[in-house]
C-alpha cells in the first residue's frame, strides 16, 4: 500500500523471441515508472507480450527482467529461468474483467491476500480507493462493466504489484466510463510508481493515458517514444499506416536547401521544408490533412506558390465531432484527405462531386526518415527515440 521510494527507479526489460504460427515475435523494449501504451492492429502480439511478462505464456528465448528479478531467461550460456506467474507480482487487468463470478466484490479483492488476518480490511481499503466500498457485497453480475473493471483493478493492486498490465481493459466500456478509469490509472501509476503496460487498439485511449507509445506490428516494435514524438516523427511507412495517418506518400527529392526543398510526388511537385537527404533520394512523407487549405474559387492564386496547389473533386465528406473530413480525388485518381473545422468555409460548403482547389502550406508536408529503419541486432535494447528522423517543423507539431 505504501508508495515505493522515489529514489528507486523500477525498470522492466523485455527482450524475447516467440514463434506464433507463421510469424515470429521479436519484442524488445524497456519500461520504467510510466504508462507505456502498446498500440497496433489485432494479432500484432500485444497480448502475447503481456502474457510473456505475466508468466502466462513462455517465450522461446530471450530475457524478461524486472530490476534484479529475472522473470524469464533462456539464452546461450546462461541458466534457464522461468519464474511462475504466481511469483512475478504483476497485476493483470483483463478485457473481460475476469472477476470470480461466485465471489462478492470484497471476496474478489481479498482473494490475492489469502489467509492474511487483515485481508478483509485491506480489501475494503482498496475498494474505498476505487470508490466502490458501497458495493463491497455485490456479486459481479450485479455490477456494471465499469464497476467490475474497477474491482478488477483493486484486486490486481491487492498483490502490491510493481507492474500493472492492462490488456484492452477498457475497450468494452463507454467513453465517459473509460475516461474516469484512465484518470484512476494515471493516479494509481503515479502514487505507486508502477510500470504500466497498456495494450489498446484505440488511439484516443493512447493519448488519454499514455506517457510513451510503442507501435507494434507483426510481433515487433516499429517505433517507441513519447506519444507526440511518434506522431510528429513517425519512423516509417508502417507506423504511418498503423497510426492511421493519411496522405502518406513516397516522393523523390529534386533539390534541397536551407530554406526548403522540392519534391516530386509522382509528377506533382511539392515544396517542403528542408530535408536531410541528397537530391534524388527516395523519401517517405505525409501531408497533414488539417494543414491543407481550401481555396475560394473566386480568389486569385497570385499569393500562392506555384507548386503546392492541387485541384480535385470531392468524393466524400464526413462530419467528425467538430471537423469536416474531405476526401478529394486528384485528376490522376489519387486521393487526398483534408480536414478543417466545421466553422470554416461555410460559404463554400464543398459537397461531394464539386470541384475544389487545395493549397498546401510548406509545413504541412512532413518528411519522415529517408530510409526504412533497421532493427538493431538481437540482444540489444532499442533506443528510446529514432535518430535522424528527417526534417520536421517544430512550429506545427501540435496534432492533438
Partner 1 sequence: MNWPAFWLSLQVNAIASIIILVAGLLIALLLARARFRGKILVETVIMLPLVLPPSVIGYYLLLAFGRGSPLFEWFNIRILFTWQAAIAASVVVGIPLMVQSSRAALANVDPVLENAARTLGASELRIFWRVTLPLARRGILAGMILGSARALGEFGATLMITGNIPGRTQTLPVAIYDAVQAQRYADAHLMVLVMTGLAFAGLLLARQLEPTPQYRRTDDAEEAVYDSATHR
Judged by the rule CB under 8 A, the positions of this chain that interact with partner 1 are: 54-56, 84-92, 94, 96, 98, 100-102, 111-112, 114, 131-132, 134-135, 140-147, 155-156, 158-159, 165, 173-174, 176-177
Nearer to partner 1, 173 or 338 (CB): 173
For residues 94 and 269, which CB has a smaller minimum distance to partner 1 in the complex?
94
Instruction: Give which of 392, 289, 399, 271 is closest to 335, Cα–Cα.
Output: 289
Q: Which three cell numbers stand for residue 237?
A: 511507412
Residue 120 CB neighbours (<10 A): 15
Cα four-point dihedral sign 132, 135, 139, 142: negative
Instruction: Residue 341: count other Cβ atoms within 10 Å of its Cβ.
Output: 11
Which cell goes with 84? 511462475
CB of 134 to partner 1, least distance (A): 5
Q: How many residues does the chain have?
A: 400
* Sheet-wide strand order for 365-368: 268-272, 261-265, 248-256, 282-287, 365-368
Helix (H) or strand (E) holding 54: helix 46-54
SS (H, E, C) 96-135: CCCCCCCCCHHHHHHHHHCCCCCHHHHHHHHHHHCCCHHH
Query: Residue 77 CB, nearest distance to partner 1 (Å)?
Result: 30
The least distance separating partner 1 from the CB of residue 133, rounded to whole angstroms, comes to 8
Q: From the CB of 131, what's the least distance to partner 1, in Å?
A: 5
E strand or H helix that includes residue 258: none
- Please report how close the Cβ of residue 98 comes to partner 1 at its closest, in angstroms: 4
175-192 and 145-158 helices cross at what angle (nearest 10)? 10
Which is nearer to partner 1, 148 or 236 (by Cβ)? 148
Give the burial string for 69-95 (b: 16+ CB within 10 Å, else e).
Answer: ebbbbbeeeeeeeebebeebbbbbbbb
Cβ atoms of 245 and 203 within 8 Å: the answer is: no
Q: How far is the CB of 90 from partner 1 (least distance, A)?
A: 6
Provide the minimum distance between the beta carbon of 173 and partner 1 in the complex, in angstroms, as a whole number.
7
Amino acid at each position: 500500500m505504501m508508495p515505493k521510494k522515489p529514489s528507486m527507479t523500477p525498470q522492466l526489460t523485455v527482450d524475447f523471441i516467440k514463434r506464433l504460427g507463421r510469424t515470429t515475435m521479436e519484442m524488445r523494449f524497456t519500461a520504467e515508472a510510466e504508462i507505456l501504451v502498446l498500440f497496433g492492429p489485432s494479432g500484432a502480439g500485444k497480448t502475447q507480450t503481456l502474457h510473456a511478462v505475466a508468466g502466462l505464456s513462455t517465450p522461446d528465448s530471450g530475457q524478461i527482467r524486472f530490476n534484479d528479478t529475472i522473470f524469464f531467461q533462456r539464452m546461450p550460456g546462461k541458466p534457464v529461468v522461468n519464474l511462475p506467474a504466481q511469483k512475478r507480482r504483476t497485476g493483470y487487468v483483463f478485457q473481460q474483467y475476469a472477476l470470480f463470478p461466485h465471489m462478492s466484490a470484497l471476496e474478489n479483492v481479498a482473494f490475492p491476500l489469502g489467509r492474511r488476518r487483515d485481508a478483509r480490511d485491506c480489501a475494503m481499503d482498496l475498494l474505498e480507493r476505487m470508490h466502490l466500498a458501497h458495493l463491497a457485497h455485490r456479486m459481479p453480475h450485479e455490477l456494471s462493466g465499469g464497476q467490475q473493471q474497477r474491482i478488477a483493478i483493486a484486486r490486481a493492486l491487492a498483490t502490491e504489484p510493481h507492474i500493472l498490465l492492462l490488456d484492452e481493459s477498457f475497450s468494452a466500456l463507454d467513453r465517459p466510463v473509460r475516461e474516469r478509469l484512465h484518470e484512476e490509472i494515471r493516479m494509481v501509476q503515479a502514487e505507486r510508481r508502477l510500470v504500466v503496460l497498456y495494450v489498446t487498439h484505440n488511439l484516443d485511449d493512447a493519448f488519454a493515458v499514455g506517457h510513451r507509445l510503442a507501435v507494434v506490428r507483426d510481433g515487433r516494435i516499429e517505433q517507441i517514444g513519447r506519444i507526440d514524438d511518434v506522431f510528429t516523427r513517425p519512423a516509417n511507412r508502417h507506423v504511418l499506416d498503423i497510426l492511421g495517418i493519411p496522405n502518406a506518400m513516397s516522393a523523390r527529392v529534386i533539390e534541397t536547401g536551407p530554406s526548403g526543398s522540392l519534391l516530386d510526388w509522382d509528377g506533382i511537385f511539392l515544396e517542403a521544408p528542408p530535408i536531410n537527404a541528397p537530391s534524388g533520394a527516395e523519401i517517405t512523407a505525409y501531408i497533414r490533412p488539417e494543414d491543407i487549405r481550401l481555396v475560394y474559387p473566386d480568389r486569385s492564386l497570385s499569393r500562392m506558390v506555384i507548386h503546392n496547389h492541387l485541384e480535385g473533386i470531392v468524393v466524400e465528406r464526413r462530419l467528425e465531432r467538430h471537423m469536416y473530413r474531405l476526401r478529394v480525388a486528384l485528376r490522376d485518381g489519387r486521393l487526398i484527405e483534408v480536414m478543417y473545422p466545421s466553422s470554416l468555409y461555410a460559404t463554400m460548403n464543398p459537397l461531394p462531386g464539386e470541384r475544389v482547389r487545395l493549397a498546401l502550406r510548406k509545413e504541412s508536408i512532413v518528411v519522415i526518415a529517408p530510409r526504412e529503419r533497421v532493427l538493431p541486432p538481437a540482444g540489444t535494447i532499442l533506443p528510446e527515440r529514432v535518430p535522424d528522423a528527417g526534417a520536421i517543423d517544430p512550429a506545427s507539431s501540435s496534432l492533438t
